[in-house]
Amino acid sequence: MNKQSRLTTYILIGLVLGIITGYFAHDNLASPTGFADTMALITTLFLRLIKMIIAPLVFSTLVCGIAKMGDATAVGRVGVKTLGWFFIASVMSLSLGLVLVNIFRPGDALLGHMAATAAKADLATSSLTLKDFVTHLVPSSIVDGMAKNEILQIVIFSLFFGSAAAAVGPKANALIEALDGVAHVMLKVTGYVMKFAPFAVFAAVAGTIAKSGLGVLSTYGVFMAEFYFGIVLLWALLIFIGFLFLKGRVFALMKEMRSPALLAFSTASSEAAYPKTLEGLERFGVRNRIASFVLPIGYSFNLDGSMMYCTFATVFIAQAYGIEMSLGQQMTMMAVLMLTSKGMAGVPRASLVVIAATLGQFNIPEAGMLLLLGIDHFLDMARSATNVIGNGIATAVVAKWEGEMDPPKTAEAA
């Protein structure tokens, strides 16, 4: 069994044991909340280890990727293709969520049971205005941006730094070689950190179920089932579009994405899967300069699962309050979400923040967010895994367009 298969197996074992342990803790412990808090320490430690890797890995790989492209024309060409794909995928994801929520109408089941109270969801809704988003794009200090793991700011700085390194030419070769060494070292560090992944998965699932119980799944069962059905449809659409460009190799790509997608699903964190996704793409045959360029940008602009959830959840809350949104309003809402969802990868509970900001603009009670808080972790699991799949396919397709695809590399044996 190779290392990828072994890690996947251990993560699955951790997931199952976490469900069993969480169920037992919820029903038998005097203080399941205390148990959940203890488990949260393990999950937090793992996610902090991952975040420790993200900034140096994104910076070093992205700068090297741009510098190796050689000139601004190549960078611009790849950038346009990348953003074009992300735009199409964003429209598809937002539209699918909108169509499904209007067909299923899950909010109707709660109609008449909701009070438009002044309750708050404790989310910083004002942090995602268009003005703040635009000014947040450019870091006032790259050191501050890296310290806070602001992926979008790191990407912007890396684009300038890598382009300048390419323009300088031979004088920058030593620096690029050094950064290439940093990237390889950080990937080795990733290997060490990933050994803790099964324990983090166990702790995350056990803690959530211990605190909320399996009952939270049945209470919102219909909503969750419909959302997960939408996620399956989105996966099918993404894989189909990938098949149009990659042909049969798209299934080999899905095999490489299996481990990072499962890690993202289990920890409810797309960031946790970033290093493994990069490794998987390179094993699949995507050359480093494309993978290290497209993937970091995707983490800011191409969160397919999160975007589908935004439209699905916003209209769900409106339905629960008996607020009918016209087609024009829904199209306007989709345009707003298209802008406000960009760069939300670095925001805690990002999808909830975006939804809360959108509710206020359409006079939908913010208290409706409380409907989703109890099950958001389980929804975030599906969103995070979908984000990984979407970015994996996007990167492979751009590599295919650019003729930057090699034969698959042999999996490293255990």
The string of pLDDT tens digits covering residues 314-334 is: 999 899 888 999 898 899 888
Q: What's the rounded Cα separation, in Å, for the pair 11 and 15?
A: 6
Residue 122, pLDDT above cutoff 50:
no
Q: Answer yes or no: is 410 within a domain.
A: no
Give 61-91 pLDDT, tens digit per residue. 888 888 877 666 777 888 899 989 999 999 9
User: Looking up tokens 């999808």, which residue turns up?
Assistant: 351
| Other Cβ atoms closer than 10 A to 161 | 19
Q: Answer yes or no: is 238 within a domain.
A: yes
207: domain CATH number? 1.10.3860
At 286 the three-state DSSP class reads strand
Find the Cα–Cα–Cα–Cα dihedral 99, 334, 309, 100, rounded to 10°. 0
Residue 116, pLDDT above cutoff 60:
no
Q: What's the rounded Cα separation, in Å, for the pair 119 and 367?
A: 5
Q: What's the rounded Cα separation, in Å, for the pair 386 and 318?
A: 25
What is the model's pLDDT at position 49?
A: 86
| Other Cβ atoms closer than 10 A to 218 | 10
Q: Are the C-beta atoms of 253 and 393 separated by less than 8 Å?
A: yes
> 405: which strand partners?
286
Residue 95, pLDDT above cutoff 60:
yes
Residue 229, pLDDT above cutoff 90:
yes
Residue 374, pLDDT above cutoff 80:
no
Number of domains present in the structure of the chain: 1
Give 34-51 pLDDT, tens digit per residue. 998 899 899 889 888 887
Q: What does pLDDT average to over the chain?
A: 83
Higher per-residue pLDDT: 298 or 374: 298
Q: Answer yes or no: is 413 within a domain.
A: no
Give 213-222 pLDDT, tens digit per residue. 876 666 678 8
Higher per-residue pLDDT: 230 or 106: 230
Q: Answer yes or no: is 358 within a domain.
A: yes
Q: Answer yes or no: is 411 within a domain.
A: no
What is the model's pLDDT at position 54?
A: 80
User: Which tokens in the block code for residue 299?
Assistant: 């983490």
Residue 377, pLDDT above cutoff 60:
yes
Backbone angles phi, psi at 310, to 5 degrees: -60, -50
User: Which tokens in the block code for residue 16?
Assistant: 């199952």
What is the model's pLDDT at position 347?
A: 46
Q: Answer yes or no: is 286 within a domain.
A: yes
- The full DSSP string for 42-75 is HHHHHHHHHHHHHHHHHHHHHHHHHHHH-SHHHH
Give 324's Cβ-side CA count (13 Å radius): 1
Q: What's the rounded Cα separation, in Å, for the pair 209 and 119?
A: 25
Q: Are the C-beta atoms of 309 and 61 separated by less than 8 Å?
A: no
Q: What's the rounded Cα separation, in Å, for the pair 135 and 302?
A: 20
Higher per-residue pLDDT: 286 or 110: 286
Q: Answer yes or no: is 108 within a domain.
A: yes
Q: Answer yes or no: is 268 within a domain.
A: yes
Handedness of CA 292, 296, 302, 303 (dihedral sign): positive
User: Which tokens in the block code for residue 42?
Assistant: 């393990």
Average pLDDT of the segment spanning 23-28: 90
Q: Write out the E strands in 226-300.
A: none
* pLDDT over 90 percentage in the chain: 32
Residue 286, domain extent: 3-402
Give 176-185 pLDDT, tens digit per residue. 999 989 988 9
Q: What's the rounded Cα separation, in Å, for the pair 50 and 197?
A: 10
Q: What's the rounded Cα separation, in Å, for the pair 144 and 63?
A: 18
What is the model's pLDDT at position 4?
A: 63
Q: How confident is the model at residue 343 (pLDDT cuts 50, 70, 90)?
A: low
